Copies of this chain bind each other. A is one copy, B any other.
């Protein structure tokens, strides 16, 4: 990371998912370039804006490609471009494409089934977590990559 040394880095550390951020940034940049007449960008070019390694971008855009959000062209003059209009790509699509992990997890090891709580708590929490996660998803679904770009440029 950052070569090491003084850790100019800034936030270092961290644990939470920054994958949605990376992917959203890449998509917004692709859309801005498209509006400027450049349909296709290489992973190097995207990496320059996100300020990370091109491989990281290829990995991220690979996830998005699997979900149909971008398309990769290979061979000479290769690169990535949006798989569908930026107005039709929501942040929920992005989240689903890159972040399969649940927001909250159950116990790592099975609780004690001889205890009433241990026996019944898992389906209950699963339900509540799903409910909360659904509202989170709904909130992400309200914003498209196009919206994000508009707000950035505003």
Chain A interface, >50% SS class: helix
A32-B117, A136-B136, A148-B128 are contacts. A107–B16 as well, Cβ < 8 Å?
no
Residues of B within 8 A of A52 (CB): 107-109
Q: Mark A24-50, 1 if CB is under 8 A from B, else 0.
A: 110011001000000000000000111
User: A76 within 8 Å of B by Cβ?
Assistant: no
- CB contact between A25 and one of B102, B118, B131, B151 (< 8 Å): that residue: B118
Give Cα distance in the complex from A10 to B109, angstroms.
6
Contact-residue bracket for chain A = 35 or more
Q: Mark A99-121, 1 if CB is under 8 A from B, else 0.
A: 00111111111111001111011
Give Cα distance in the complex from A15 to B16, angstroms.
10
- CB contact between A108 and one of B18, B110, B118 (< 8 Å): that residue: B18
CB distance from A145 to the nearest CB of B (A): 11
Q: Mark A131-145, 1 if CB is under 8 A from B, else 0.
A: 111111011100100
